[in-house]
Structure 1
């Protein structure tokens, strides 16, 4: 009896675990090597659009994740003083894209993905190095903890500072600073009742969203020099930058402890890679196409990558052909949105806000328009998978 094909996934984040689950579902023997001591993810929450939820349908957990949707009624875009520039609703989003938008803790998604894998698949505290990308005549090789492993496929899902990417494309300049930093909190806020919203100021934005588990996910961003940090703590920095914005922003900041506030500078891959594969080794997620978070598509595109990769694992050129143009276009759109919502000039911001309000009165909210061509994506082999599941 022939041995199953073997894959090694370097990186146990959302993209890596989705790839592992999708490959396992298609009969591959998979090992996930994660350098951290646990699978606890960096970051607070993740927004999943209908495109990613359809991808998760392929591995059988889409409906389970959809059940976590909690965006009800009106939401939209506001000014720091509280005026609504644009309003939308969960119903409008579902009608436009054929499904809901779901916001959930990253830990929930990571745990559910990991549960799809056989015991022993994930090895934590395992720092891995690509020793040889392989080719048609020889397997790829990975070094991890003094051990050398061979595989028919190596998946580089090791994030924005990917060592696999550097090994495959050493001449590529890698990620660059996007010009702004972000803060995130995921906390209970007693008595908080509000509509999901994002608020755009001058060179600053804030978003506040209730989760189904009763907690509140909030994020903020501001134009700052790379590497800058608060002189005291990041909660105090949020008070300085956003403490006089509309409700419920001051209450959310007040409910957070300094240790609840995560801060990270934003980097992205401005120059697309020449390909997402070389030999038997492939890149996905931030390792391949890190993008600003302004469309909320980083994790969504990693999930798409993983599902397409599992289908194209025997033809990595087809994977590159399917994924590189799409993710490059979405990354560029995210950069354009960042320039819009992080604009700082008083006159530019006034024109921006007036235009958003006018456009939203004339048709679908800007929030929904920005997802056209993105959220309506469907897996290339969903019907094939559904047929296989019925057998």
Structure 2
């Protein structure tokens, strides 16, 4: 029987025409192709799983011990994943657990300062490196870690030509729980860094306590803090030598105490109080006894929404500059600040500070400071701000982070320029 005759006879026996038979064969071929494609997709998923397990740390890949994807994966992916695993294991653990970061504050600005009508040495236009922090963080295990942060700045506006280098932070940390973290060494103090985080424009200006020299951001000692209640409450307490991170001395006879407690009663609303008491490192062995105890009370209320940020800070200090003086004194001040984000990258901001530095010894003395500006986040980690600052002091010379402002009768400080923050 010929081949030509067999096709129709078979189609006739099955009740299927030749066209129908061809369609059926095409359908079978399509089903076979789909099954093959599904097999290829499953194999690719297995290869991806093997590669991901090889790259992840062992602590994050518990299924690596069973390695079920490896057992069914083709040979080539197994060789590739083994090579990746060897490459990861060749990196020393101390490198994998160490992080380096940095932050720089720079500005190009013009200053016009007068004291009792006369120009001062700060006047002029200049580029300043206000701060450069370089930090190294190392994680020993889930509990213990260490931090070293250097603080570099150049003398600016004719005040000093020296390059100043400090160790701002150098501490060993034990995080026993989120509610109990202990740091030993030079570390953040309870108040100033906390307010800086809420204010948000530290690269433009120090917060009020730091700007007017009634506190600093870091000191040597033992620091305890944490959060509890799902972030509802946070606290910080420090027992320190009182000299700040820029000065070290082993001769202080006493320890100073500083603390803070804050609550977030509703979302984006922060309320905080804090305090400080001690000799500010001036009670030194072999020297005459200090005559006063320096104390400071702090308070803050703020709203920190994604678009609007508003805050108010208040302080009252007793004998802060009179620890070794016979006369007692009192200082107080308040600050209000705010910002509005037009877009995620463009914001307007402003701030006003009022300080009475000598309520007992010179009641007529006062200082008024404000700034206003527009900021632009160029890329993540780079911020620019166009800023105008104005500071005025009456009947006193007032030390600030911008130099000594004021005069016998009156002094002013005006600065305009571009400020920047670079983080990596």
Which TM-score band applies after superposition, normalised by the shorter structure? under 0.3
Between structures 1 and 2, the one with greater helix share? 1
Q: TM-score, normalised by structure 1?
A: 0.24
Greater CA radius of gyration, 1 or 2? Answer: 2
What's the TM-score, normalizing by structure 2?
A: 0.22
Structure with the bigger percentage of strand:
2
Q: Bigger relative contact order, structure 1 or 2, given CA contacts below 8 A and separation 6+?
A: 1
